[in-house]
Amino acid sequence: MKNFVGAATQGFRTVFAGGTSLFWVAPIIPLIAIVPEFVQHIAEIRMGMFESRVAFSALANDETRWMFGYAKIAGLFIAILAAARYWGGLRESWWDLRNIAWKPFLIAVVLQIALAGLLAGLEQVVPSSIKDVVDLAIMILTLPLLVYLVGPILGDHTMTLKRAYSSGWVKAIAIGVFGFLAFWPAQQLHGLNHEWAFGAAAWQVWALMIWDTLLVGLMACWMGSALAAGYLFGEDAEDHGSMAAPEPAA
């Protein structure tokens, strides 16, 4: 129990203290999410989206907004992965894509896409009365796929699908718990920022959107740090010798 408490404490420290510290130890990481987020907010304000809730709903799917939205989504995901790599042991080379274990990573991506397709297909055939049960069962059974995806991103060349299922359950649960705690509260506040902006004075809208932009950058850093904290749960984050690619045989 003592080891579990220590590991959990270290995980929370990595997620929230470590994630927040990226704003000054590696500011380019939050900026990857912040810049496109703020650019989209500028477009939304100029389009008049915050004049009212009705205006926001009417323009939510506007092509101009989504032109910036795609860049925002890409920036968010890149920042999350960058934060994960930084706290996953690649502080000096988080930007160097050569240390990703590309083969298992690409296999993991294909499996995630296949899983998404399976879930979409089940939506059409599973009775609504048992849909929630089936969704939960599939989510539990496929949790190790998340470990199989995160490991290669962090440069773990030893991660395999077999290893993810044989010894990755604790990591998968830790990733899920830390990820939820990093995302859910920040996402709720993100939504409230928009609610508060509807019909507000121009200076208030700008102030709220500047704060919201910083919040999104912080959320990206927390979520990426959560991936690293979960994957390294109970391990020494500084010791990654076992994750290196094996040396070729002599």
Higher pLDDT: 234 or 104? It is 104
| Distance between CA atoms of residues 217 and 105, nearest Å | 25
Higher pLDDT: 205 or 126? It is 205
What's the alpha-carbon Rg for the chain, to the nearest Å? Answer: 20
Tens digits of residue pLDDT in 34-81:
999 999 999 999 999 999 999 998 888 888 888 999 999 999 999 999
What integer pLDDT is reported at residue 129 of this predicted model?
A: 78
What integer pLDDT is reported at residue 232 of this predicted model?
A: 95
Tens digits of residue pLDDT in 147-178:
999 999 999 999 999 999 999 999 999 999 99
| pLDDT exceeds cutoff 70 at 217 | yes
236: confidence class by pLDDT, cuts 50, 70, 90: low
What average pLDDT does range 200-214 have in this prediction? 96
192: confidence class by pLDDT, cuts 50, 70, 90: very high
How long a stretch of residues is the chain? 250
- CA nearest neighbour of 90 among 202, 231, 188: 231
Residue pair 202/139 in contact (Cβ under 8 Å)? The answer is no
Q: How far apart are the first and last CA of the chain?
A: 44
What integer pLDDT is reported at residue 245 of this predicted model?
A: 43
| pLDDT exceeds cutoff 90 at 187 | yes
Residue pair 80/182 in contact (Cβ under 8 Å)? The answer is no
Q: What phi and psi values does residue 154 have, to the nearest 5 degrees?
A: -85, 5
- CA nearest neighbour of 222 among 167, 188, 189, 178: 178
